[in-house]
Amino acid sequence: MSSIDEREIQAIIERVKGRLDRAGSAEGLQAQGDLDEISDLELGDGIFPTIDQAVAAATRAQRQYQRIGLGGRYAVIDAIRASMLEEAERLAHMAHQETGLGRPEDKLIKNRLVATKSPGPEDLEPQAVTGDAGMMVTEWAPFGVVGAITPTTNPTSTIINNTIAVISAGNACVFNVHPNAKKVSAENIRLLNRAIVSAGGPPNLVTAIPTPTIASAQELMHHPDVRVLLVTGGPAVVREALKTDKRAIAAGPGNPPAVVDETAEIQNAARSIVAGASFDNNVICTDEKTTIAVDSIADRLVQEMGKAGAYVLKEHELRKLERVIFDELGPPNKPGVINRAWIGKSAAAILAEIGVQVDTNEIRLVVAEVPNEHSLVWTEQMMPVMPVTRVQSIDQAIDLAVKSEHGFRHTASIHSTNVERITRMAVAMNCSIFVANSSNFAGLGEGGEGFTSFSIASPTGDGLTRPRTFSRERRVTVVGALRIV
Ligand code: NAD
């Protein structure tokens, strides 16, 4: 499924490999079983005992970083890309091992995606205007130190992506990572520092503490030397970040609906939804969480989903499943409370719990036909269980999609060959990402055009975060000169 060209990956690695080898940073433990060999308390290479020390070191590093110029910045980002591509598989296994969420092979795709398609310093191209009054140039300046809070669902891909975006803009970054992913995250941050230093960057440009907690996240969010916050997670952490007096870039939850109408290419729709909703066992915020099908094609769609790697539940199996995956089934048209033990688990493991045995390589998704008001339609389940619900028309489909997305304005998709309907739904959803006729991961640049981001900041309107998001816009105006024609 990966759209990233293997030759492109090799070219990036080769380009900076000499430097990495000299710095000894490409050495490492082999793919699996690494986690146990990493101490919880290992310090160095960006890992400090306290938030205060982590912020102080990053502040010093950011000043040094300013001195290596834009050329130096490009070299640092190149080295990070190469190092992360070399380490992508090991980090994917470790993230899976530590969090128990998702699929290692999908985490590998995510790591490779962010290493190659997160925009670098080229995103900061200055803009110039000249006219009779002279010249004006806009440039992108760093803020200083950015405080970043990361989720357990994409620990390494978020750290890699956030680091490339934040430091491409000339900032330093202090992370408070999710406590359930602290070891792999610390290892990731150590590797990033080694890559930065190997390319002539300062030590400790990216820092963290080894034992993060909610209290340390709060300390980081309120630290006087942190200028900007980048928060990626559920509603609670977004609320906390927005309460501070700092500029906050908040990437919050979603509940992406996928609408399928009667003009769609049904086989493609079914394949796309199964691939998208099962990607990393549905833990990604952009993964499809609900399918809304126009009644006339719903039977065919479900049939095709069955052929594309989904197990379609029978009515009595759905009742059993509800008791397993919900702590509390919500009232009509409201989210329920998900049993967190099943977040990110495989379809095969979830099915086994209700007595259905399937081959984990063949079945990636559980499909359940449910009425519109069922909690599954309204809940961000973050597991490979996809509700399919029927409506009579495209108008009803769009209406339900808007309502069940809860105004998050995060991600939505449509499968339709009618351009007017694609346009109408895109306008109605008003989301940061809207995808037509493919899996939602295409909207992250995986199989679709454009750059990637793993912090999609819908609540604060920043959308897919990139170096510009972490930059101060500055203008210089020269009156009566510097227009040279
Ligand atoms: P989570 O909210 O449990 O944790 C995210 C981070 O916030 C962690 O580091 C956690 O320690 C911290 N945190 C949580 N509550 C806090 C509080 N009260 N004060 C300070 N820090 C706090 O989320 P998760 O389970 O790790 O990730 C899944 C959620 O994140 C989903 O809702 C998903 O949609 C969302 N998410 C959004 C994006 C995006 O780009 N918009 C990306 C990834 C995940």
pLDDT tens digits, one per residue of 62-93: 999 999 999 999 999 999 999 999 999 999 99
| pLDDT in the model for residue 9 | 67
| pLDDT in the model for residue 306 | 98
- In percent, how much of the chain has pLDDT > 90? 91
Nearby residues of 218 by Cβ (< 8 Å), 6 or more positions away: 240
| pLDDT in the model for residue 30 | 43
Q: How many CA atoms lie within 13 A of 24 on its CB side?
A: 1
What is the C-alpha separation between 280 and 284, in angstroms, rounded? Answer: 7
| pLDDT in the model for residue 38 | 75
- The CB of 380 under 6 Å from ligand 1? The reply is yes
| pLDDT in the model for residue 32 | 53
CA 153 to ligand 1 center in whole angstroms: 8
- The CB of 1 under 6 Å from ligand 1? The reply is no
| pLDDT in the model for residue 333 | 98
If you take atom 14 of ligand 1, which residue's CA is the nearest one? 237
If you take atom 41 of ligand 1, which residue's CA is the nearest one? 251
pLDDT band, residue 25 (cuts 50/70/90): very low
Sole residue written with tokens 């092979």: 105
| pLDDT in the model for residue 291 | 99
| pLDDT in the model for residue 158 | 98
DSSP-based three-state secondary structure for 250:
strand
- The CB of 389 under 6 Å from ligand 1? The reply is no
DSSP-based three-state secondary structure for 338:
strand
Angle, CA of 201, 60 and 183, to the nearest 5°: 70
Helix axes 182-198, 155-168, angle to 10 degrees: 30
What is the DSSP-derived secondary structure letter of residue 44? B
pLDDT beyond 80 at 382: yes
The neighbouring-strand residues paired with 146 are 173, 228
Q: What share of the chain is helix, strand, coil (3-state, %, to 5)?
A: 45, 20, 35
Domains contained in the chain, CATH given: 6-252+462-475 (3.40.605.10), 257-448 (3.40.309.10)
CA 358 to ligand 1 center in whole angstroms: 32
- The CB of 238 under 6 Å from ligand 1? The reply is no
End-to-end CA distance of the chain: 51
Lookup: tokens for 66: 């300013």
Question: Average pLDDT over the chain, rounded to whole?
Answer: 94
Nearest CA-CA partner of 179 in 216, 148, 205, 206: 216
What is the DSSP-derived secondary structure letter of residue 121? G
CA 237 to ligand 1 center in whole angstroms: 6
Mutation test residue for ligand 1: of 101, 175, 182, 232, the one with most atoms within 8 Å of CB:
232
| pLDDT in the model for residue 195 | 98
255 touches 380 (CB < 8 A): yes
pLDDT band, residue 201 (cuts 50/70/90): very high
Nearest CA-CA partner of 123 in 73, 59, 87: 73
477 touches 145 (CB < 8 A): no
Per-residue pLDDT, averaged over 462-475, amounts to: 98
Angle, CA of 82, 463 and 6, to the nearest 5°: 25
CA 239 to ligand 1 center in whole angstroms: 11
| pLDDT in the model for residue 75 | 98
CA 452 to ligand 1 center in whole angstroms: 19
| pLDDT in the model for residue 26 | 32
What is the C-alpha separation between 242 and 112, in angstroms, rounded? Answer: 31
Closest atom, ligand 1, to C-alpha of 178: 9
CA 232 to ligand 1 center in whole angstroms: 5
Closest atom, ligand 1, to C-alpha of 152: 26
Q: Identify the H or E element spanning 85.
A: helix 69-99
What is the C-alpha R_g of the chain?
A: 23
| pLDDT in the model for residue 21 | 45
Ranking 3-12, 95-104, 449-458 by mean pLDDT, the lowest is 3-12
| pLDDT in the model for residue 253 | 98
| pLDDT in the model for residue 37 | 75
Nearest CA-CA partner of 44 in 181, 238, 191: 191
